[in-house]
Amino acid sequence: MPIRFAIAVAILLGLAAAAAAAATITVVQKGLALDRSSVSLAKGDRITFTNDDDVIHNIHIFGPGGDDNVDLGLQRPGKNLSYKFDANGTYRVRCNIHPSVKMSVIVR
Amino acid sequence: MFLDLLRGTKARFAIVRLSKSLMCADRPRCDGLRRSDRFARSMRLLPLAALPAAALPSGSALALPSFAIQTGQPCAACHIGAFGPQLTPYGRDFKLHGYTANDGKDHGLPLAFTAQTSFTHTQEPQPGGAAPGFKPNDNFAIDQLSIYYAGQIAPKVGGFIELNYDGVAQQALLNNVDIRYASEGEVFGQDVLWGVTANNNPTVQDPWNSTPAWGFPYNQSPLAPTPNASTLIDGGLGQRVAGVGAYSLWNDLLYLEGDVYKGLTAPALTALGQVPDEGSQTNDFLPYARVALLKDWNNTGHHLELGAYGISGNVVPGNGQTLGFNVHKTDLAIDATYQFITDPAKVTSDRLSAHATYIHETSQLASEGLALTGALPDHWLDTMRVDVSYSFAATVTPSVQYFRTVGTADVNYWSTPNGSPNSDGMIFEVAYVPWGKPDSPFPNMNVRLAVQYFNYFSFDGSYADASRNNSFYFSLWTAVRF
């Protein structure tokens, strides 16, 4: 009985942990454009940005606070950049090199 | 070869200066000279007054290495054929954002240098020489040497400023200038890009190559004859005015712009390297308006623009055309641009592009000038151009254009043999650009080799003699970032 109980608790805890684990989505950057204009995430989720073009890109994330922003730097062809969204609010993502490469991220 | 050309051109310098002064001495004066006398003189000067393109405002600008260094992008990212000035969608975006997009690194001042050298052959020799100091035919020339400040000036402020040395006219001058402030916001829940421009050439601020300042051909011989008649907006005010304007692009769909230009005074024109009497002068304010609808199908690589533009105001045409009397001109034009990028993810993919414009000009000569000139009170002049190019791997770009100008015939208004301003013809060009791509060995440098053929069906109202003005033009264009 104690063994069965322990196994059940472990399974439940595993399921709960899995449910709470942060998600990672991929946003494709190709043809000097992102493949979506906006996305909704849960707090703690992560986005991986690809660069499927043959020129250098950049990912610059402007947080919901207005003043807070993170420049992930230059992104060479084939390289991925990743960012974890830790606060609720609306973020703006853009490429400093290509002004029309942009999207919004809503974190709830 | 380049140094030999330079030495040869310098050796001509004194001769050219003397010849220019003689030409000016022979130029008809406006005061009290009857139109018939003026016309007789203009006929004598016709071989020279056939307006070598050197007398026209320069339209040079290109894939400037300073832009490439600032953005970390190869020339081909912004330019069809990896060399300017034909813009890709990203090139237009960069311009509309005020030349400020960058890779975040400090690259120093965005200075660049370009040189254009050429060889011109016309079907028939030009009596008296293709230009002062040049042979009647088969001339080598240094067309232009240019220094640019091109790039970001401050956050949200950028500029394109070109200082020129015209190797044919032997004249230093301030060429095209476009300084911008750009910002972004939202209107009706959609993105809006807006900005302010200060520039010196109506349409130089335009991001589409279907308007005159940056239209095809992107360079042409300064030593081949060009037709006499052209509309005001078709380069007639380039570097002769100063203007400010505001523009906006709403939802990547609707572009609106309004500018006001003011003519520069004669001393100002002289100080900036212009010859006041050789082009239109005005003390008037000239309003300019531009509207365009655009649609980018980014996934499939199709881009379309349909637009209209216009300008209006009083000018005194150059070269004593109206003996110094005002002409009120109104230019209304429509234009279209289409581009197809075969693989938007590769800047070296093949690219098809087409441009068209139709300009309709109406002119009213001041009533006090009618008797002295003998000209008609009203004239119209229409110009149409259509060009298509296909860029193979951003390396070889053949292009073809049909152009046509027609208008009111008036022997007392146009300096053509029969008073007709009509000309039409075709231009064929093949350009080769080895660099400017992601794997190019010299990111600070690019070159463009091109051969161009002008074929006239009619020239200044004449069909019989039109072909004598046909020309071959071989050019080498070099761009270097300091």
The string of pLDDT tens digits covering residues B163-196 is 999 999 999 999 999 999 999 999 999 999 999 9
Of A55, A96, A100, the CB nearest to B93: A100
CB-neighbour burial class of residue B90 (10 A; exposed 0-12, middle 13-18, buried 19+): buried
Q: Is-contact B365 B373, C-beta < 8 A?
A: yes
> Beta partners for B302?
B297, B340
Name the residue with tokens 């008036």. B410
pLDDT value of position A12: 57
CA distance B118 to B5: 10
pLDDT of A15 > 60? The answer is no
Please state, in angstroms and as integers, the Cα–Cα distance from residue B171 to each residue in B55, B183, B335, B346, following that order: 11, 37, 33, 41
In the predicted model, what is the mean pLDDT of residues B399-406? 98
pLDDT value of position B444: 87
CA distance B218 to B355: 13
Domain ranges of chain A: 23-107
What CATH number belongs to A23-107? 2.60.40.420
pLDDT of A20 > 70? The answer is no
Residues B206-230 have pLDDT tens digits of 999 999 999 999 999 999 999 999 9
pLDDT of B12 > 60? The answer is no
pLDDT of B236 > 70? The answer is yes
In the predicted model, what is the mean pLDDT of residues B337-352? 96
Query: Considering only CB atoms, which chain A residues are within 8 Å of B299?
Result: 31, 33
- Residue A30 near chain B (CB below 8 Å): yes
- Calculate how close chain B gets to A7, using CA atoms only, in Å: 51
What CATH number belongs to B2-481? 2.40.160.10
Under DSSP, is residue B21 helix (H, G, I), strand (E, B) or coil?
helix
pLDDT value of position B74: 93
Q: Is-contact B430 B441, C-beta < 8 A?
A: no
Residues B245-277 have pLDDT tens digits of 999 999 999 999 999 999 999 999 999 999 999
CA distance A61 to A49: 12
Residues A21-70 have pLDDT tens digits of 679 999 999 998 999 999 999 999 999 999 999 999 999 999 987 778 99
Confidence of residue A9 (pLDDT cuts 50, 70, 90): low
Strands B445-458, B351-365: parallel, antiparallel or unpaired by DSSP?
Answer: unpaired
Q: How many CB atoms are closer than 10 A to CB B242?
A: 17
pLDDT value of position B38: 36
- What single-letter DSSP state applies at residue B290? E
Confidence of residue B356 (pLDDT cuts 50, 70, 90): very high
**Interface contact B298-A33, CB threshold 8 A:** yes
pLDDT value of position A95: 95
pLDDT value of position A10: 62
Of A31, A56, A71, the CB nearest to B73: A56
Of B93, B193, B252, the CB nearest to A98: B93
- Calculate how close chain B gets to A44, using CA atoms only, in Å: 28
Q: Is-contact B178 B199, C-beta < 8 A?
A: yes
- Residue B93 near chain A (CB below 8 Å): yes
CA distance A18 to B134: 82
Closest CA to B233 of B386, B375, B385: B385
In the numeric block, which tokens belong to residue A31?
């043809």
Q: How many CB atoms are closer than 10 A to CB B364?
A: 15
**Interface contact A55-B298, CB threshold 8 A:** no
Q: Is-contact B332 B360, C-beta < 8 A?
A: yes
pLDDT value of position A22: 77
Confidence of residue B128 (pLDDT cuts 50, 70, 90): very high
| ipTM score assigned to the predicted complex | 0.80
In the numeric block, which tokens belong to residue B392?
């193979």
pLDDT value of position A83: 96
Q: How many CB atoms are closer than 10 A to CB B221?
A: 28
In the predicted model, what is the mean pLDDT of residues B80-84? 94
| A14 vs B295, residue with greater confidence | B295
Could you tell me the strand order of the sheet in which A24-27 lies?
A24-27, A46-49, A81-84
CA B117 to chain centre: 17
Q: How many CB atoms are closer than 10 A to CB A44?
A: 14
**What is B365-393 written as a DSSP string?**
E-GGGHHHH---SEEEEEEEEEEEEEEBT
Name the residue with tokens 């050219």. B16
> Beta partners for B382?
B360, B406
pLDDT value of position B64: 81
Residue B300's region, left for phi above 0, alpha for psi from -120 to 50, else beta, is alpha
Query: Considering only CB atoms, which chain A residues are within 8 Å of B102?
Result: 96-97
Confidence of residue B159 (pLDDT cuts 50, 70, 90): very high
Of A33, A54, A74, the CB nearest to B347: A54
CA distance B121 to B124: 8
- What single-letter DSSP state applies at residue B9? H
Confidence of residue B36 (pLDDT cuts 50, 70, 90): very low
Confidence of residue B134 (pLDDT cuts 50, 70, 90): very high
pLDDT of B398 > 50? The answer is yes
Under DSSP, is residue B89 helix (H, G, I), strand (E, B) or coil?
helix
Could you tell me the strand order of the sheet in which A69-75 lies?
A38-41, A102-107, A89-94, A57-62, A69-75
Strands A102-107, A38-41: parallel, antiparallel or unpaired by DSSP?
Answer: parallel
CB-neighbour burial class of residue B256 (10 A; exposed 0-12, middle 13-18, buried 19+): middle
In the numeric block, which tokens belong to residue B36?
């018939």
pLDDT of B433 > 90? The answer is yes
pLDDT of B24 > 90? The answer is no
Closest CA to B329 of B385, B292, B274, B284: B284
Q: Is-contact B124 B138, C-beta < 8 A?
A: no
**Angle CA(B473)–CA(B479)–CA(B481) in degrees, nearest 5?**
170
Greatest Cα pair distance, chain B, in angstroms, is: 66
CA distance B183 to B195: 6
**Interface contact A31-B73, CB threshold 8 A:** no
Confidence of residue B298 (pLDDT cuts 50, 70, 90): confident
pTM recorded for the entire structure: 0.85
Please state, in angstroms and as integers, the Cα–Cα distance from residue A43 to each residue in A22, A24, A67, A90, following that order: 8, 11, 19, 11
Based on C-alpha coordinates, what's the Rg of chain B?
22
Greatest Cα pair distance, chain A, in angstroms, is: 63
pLDDT value of position A5: 66
Strands B190-199, B241-250: parallel, antiparallel or unpaired by DSSP?
Answer: antiparallel
pLDDT value of position A67: 75
pLDDT value of position A6: 65
CA distance B142 to B84: 19
In the numeric block, which tokens belong to residue B246?
């505001």
**Interface contact B298-A32, CB threshold 8 A:** yes
CA distance B5 to B324: 39
- Residue B30 near chain A (CB below 8 Å): no
Helix (H), strand (E) at residue B16: helix B13-26
Strands B111-122, A57-62: parallel, antiparallel or unpaired by DSSP?
Answer: unpaired
Average pLDDT, chain B: 88
Name the residue with tokens 């070109």. B162
| B464 vs B39, residue with greater confidence | B464
**What is B267-288 written as a DSSP string?**
HHHHHTT--GGGS-B--SEEEE
pLDDT value of position B481: 83
